[in-house]
Amino acid sequence: MVNLQRWLAPVPPSVAVEIAARRVTVVEVASPSGAVSAYAGEGLPEGVVTPAVAGPNIVQPDVVAGALKRSLERAGLDAVRRAALIVPDSSARVSLLTFDQIPARPQELDALVRWQLRKATPYPIEDAVVSQVPASTIDGRVTIAAVVARRDVVTQYEQVLASLGIHAGIVDLASFNVINAVLAAGGSADGDSLIVHVAPEATTLAILRGDALLFYRHRAHSDDEPLGSLVHQTTMFHEDRLGGGGFRRVWLSGAGPRIEQARREIATRTDAPVEPVDVRPAAAVEGLGRPSPDVLDALAAPVGMLLRDRVGAGG
């Protein structure tokens, strides 16, 4: 849904790379069919990637690059020289900013958003990459989803690709592309939906009303708040502040082998069905019969990134 504009390319790449805390994934989507034609991934040892808004994120670049190189080779994509790059949510901050009016000129809007973010950003805004996109319009008021990330943090992820001769044509956050995957698969066609994206280091929750983003919350696991409690708080906010009458569906991504436990925790807090994010309604996956939760999780954000134009997402 949001892209870091410095890396926005006029022609979207056909290959996406995700670097997460505990794995790397590569996916290719064929044109014009939109089917997943190749994919592979490899797990990473704990501590090799430590997502954060500042400081070292890629702690062992050679280990990450080696895993990515092997994944590209297994997928038959080792000749790729341009790819979209997906980074962890914890490497950036997302704010929903609401305005009565927004400037017509992009430069003025950028200046306004930077001014709004300046006080809440724990480093000089001049050191940041800032991007924004309309998230929703309610009663004539426009809400902007703004992403701010330290330039040197994003560069760490880019340099992994660069070490293999790959240019990162687009850089984006994992949760936004999980949302893209849900939208592309028609998972939020009517009613309100809750997206729950679980990463090793944090959980992101987002509320969609159709294709409008109404709520976004990112909480580090170091805060020691159970998933059920986060979902309960979000459900109460949905009812009290957003006029929601319950979620039509909850979409879950990233729980992997813990999916049944996560489903139970969420189900105790909401009456909506809880389903894994499955890209196959939007993109056929060659050779994939009964995918494991880990495979569905690995495909969600990369496929969402590559299908972003189909849902009108991005800048």
Three-state SS across 231-244? HHHHHHHHHHHCCC
- pLDDT on residue 188: 76
Average pLDDT over residues 114-122: 92
- pLDDT on residue 75: 96
Closest CA to 286 of 25, 32, 27: 27
Angle at 117 between CA 86 and CA 177, to 5 degrees: 20
Whether pLDDT at 167 is above 90:
yes
Q: How confident is the model at residue 31 (pLDDT cuts 50, 70, 90)?
A: confident
Instruction: Assess contact for 24 and 39: CB atoms under 8 A.
Output: no
| Domain map (residue ranges) of the chain | 92-148
Give the span between the Cα atoms of 302 and 209, in whole angstroms. Answer: 23
What is the separation, in whole angstroms, between the first and last Cα of the chain?
8
Average pLDDT over residues 185-196: 88
Which residue, chain included where needed, has tokens 């499955």? Answer: 278
Average of per-residue pLDDT values in the chain: 91
Whether pLDDT at 248 is above 60:
yes
- pLDDT on residue 6: 38
- pLDDT on residue 9: 41
pLDDT per residue as tens digits for the range 196-240? 999 999 999 999 999 999 999 999 987 778 999 999 999 999 999
pTM: 0.92
Q: At residue 112, what is the residue type?
A: L
Considering only the C-alpha atoms of the chain, give the largest distance between any 2 of them, rounded to a whole number of Å.
52
Q: Which residue has the higher pLDDT, 139 or 12?
A: 139
**78 burial class (0-12, 13-18, 19+ CB within 10 angstroms)?**
middle
Q: How confident is the model at residue 11 (pLDDT cuts 50, 70, 90)?
A: low
- pLDDT on residue 190: 78
Give the span between the Cα atoms of 102 and 123, in whole angstroms. Answer: 25
Average pLDDT over residues 274-292: 86
Whether pLDDT at 143 is above 90:
yes
